[in-house]
């Protein structure tokens, strides 16, 4: 395995199992993600990526296995639990409110306030400063999300996760809706996150993107871990082999 030195994993999953009726979506899955690294989770449709993401973000609760954040055992029974433990999730649907502007969306659920009132000035100033710092260019922080393109929305959603200062950022298919330029921009933001020392976990289909930003790759297949590789010590061919099952670290019984 490729654990960096003696450093403890910032987020660790052990033996995670999740069943839906007769279907076992995850069977004893382990995962370790480290601060200041990007872990990409790859896999074919039905490999268990989405289920895994939903367990880490608190949408689902595992039937078996445990989750540790910075070594401490945690139980995520709701998305709020996950957020409180320092996990910020950028869901594939982005969870943005179309009729509200960029700065309001950046602070959704955590509005700066003065008593009962919104501190709109502070909210806009902080949003603007944050977006400028990360070279995110939207016409105005008062632009409504509904007026932005899909790619611009994705960037705002990533920026929001960065703004919360969460120690662990989980991204579900961050480039699914993006064009070439926007993908490059998203990659840059993710690298910035990593360089700040954030633990980044990124589910993606996009092999070029993964090899561009990830430090390690974990491949899922049929609800199990097919393999974990350092990006520098593997090839796209090997990763594709892990995804399709032609290369395997462990025997995987085909499920009926």
Partner 1 sequence: MSQATAGRPPAGRTGGGTARSARPRDRAQWSRYTQQAGLIACVLVLAAVFAARNGTFLSSSNLIELLRSATLYFIVACASTLVLVGGGLDFSIGAVYALGAVITGLLMTHGTPWPLALLAGVAVGVVVGLANAAASIYLGVPPLIATLGTFFVAGGIAVVITGGTDVYGFPNAFISIGAGNVGGIPYLIFYAVIIGVIFHIVLERTVFGYNTRATGGNRGAAAANGIRVARLDMALYATSGAVAALAGILGAARLSTASPSAGGASLTFQVVTAVIIGGTSLFGGTGTIAGSALGAILFAEINNGLQVINVDPLYQNIFIGVILVAAVAIDQYRRKRRYRT
Residue 53, burial from CB neighbour count under 10 angstroms (0-12, 13-18, 19+)? buried
CB of 89 or CB of 234, closer to partner 1? 89
Minimum CB separation of residue 223 from partner 1 in Å reads: 25
For CA atoms 122, 147, 80, 39, the dihedral sign is: negative
31 vs 60: CA distance, rounded Å = 16
Is residue 137 a contact partner of residue 159, using CB atoms and an 8 Å limit? Answer: no
Q: What's the CA gap between 243 and 45, in Å, rounded? A: 10
CB nearer partner 1, residue 12 or residue 124: 124
> Cβ neighbours of residue 207 under 8 Å, at least 6 residues apart?
42, 236, 239, 240
**Residue 122, Cβ density class (10 Å: 0-12 exposed, 13-18 middle, ≥19 buried):** middle
Q: Which is nearer to partner 1, 151 or 227 (CB)?
A: 151
Minimum CB distance to partner 1, residue 182 (Å): 4
CB of 41 or CB of 102, closer to partner 1: 102
CB of 99 to partner 1, least distance (A): 4
Least gap, CB of 173 to partner 1 (angstroms): 16
Q: What is the dihedral of CA 106, 108, 112, 115, to 10 degrees?
A: 160
Q: How far is the CA of 89 from the CAs of 69, 120, 137, 162, in angstroms?
A: 15, 25, 22, 10
For residue 141 the two structure tokens come to 């922080």
Comparison of 22 and 181: residue with beta carbon closer to partner 1: 181
- Closest CB 153 distance from partner 1, rounded Å: 9
Which stretches of the chain bind partner 1, using CB under 8 A?
79-80, 83, 89, 91, 93-101, 104, 108-111, 113, 116-118, 120, 127-128, 131-132, 135-144, 146-152, 155-156, 178-179, 181-182, 184-185
Q: Which is nearer to partner 1, 30 or 192 (CB)?
A: 192
Smallest gap, in angstroms, from Cβ of residue 20 to partner 1? 21
């Amino acid at each position: 395995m490729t654990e960096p030195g003696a450093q403890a994993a910032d987020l660790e999953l052990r033996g995670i199992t999740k069943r839906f009726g007769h279907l076992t979506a995850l069977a004893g899955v382990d995962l370790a993600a480290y601060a200041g690294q990007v872990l990409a989770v790859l896999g074919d449709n039905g490999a268990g990526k989405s289920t895994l993401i939903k367990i880490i973000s608190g949408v689902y609760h595992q039937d078996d296995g445990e989750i540790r954040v910075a070594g401490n055992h945690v139980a995520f029974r709701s998305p709020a639990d996950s957020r409180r433990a320092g996990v910020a999730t950028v869901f594939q649907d982005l969870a943005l409110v179309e009729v509200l502007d960029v700065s309001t969306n950046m602070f959704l659920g955590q509005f700066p306030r003065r008593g009962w009132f919104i501190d709109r000035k502070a909210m806009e100033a902080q949003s603007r400063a944050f977006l400028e710092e990360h070279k995110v260019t939207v016409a105005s922080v008062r632009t409504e999300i509904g007026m932005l393109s899909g790619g611009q929305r994705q960037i705002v959603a990533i920026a929001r996760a960065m703004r919360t200062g969460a120690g662990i950022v989980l991204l579900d298919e961050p480039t699914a809706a993006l064009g070439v330029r926007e993908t490059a921009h998203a990659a840059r933001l993710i690298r910035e996150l990593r360089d700040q020392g954030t633990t980044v976990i990124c589910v993606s289909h996009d092999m070029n993107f993964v090899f561009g930003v990830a430090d390690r790759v974990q491949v899922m297949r049929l609800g199990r871990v097919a393999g974990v590789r350092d990006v520098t010590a593997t090839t796209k061919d090997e990763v594709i082999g892990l995804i399709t099952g032609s290369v395997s670290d462990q025997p995987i019984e085909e499920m009926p």
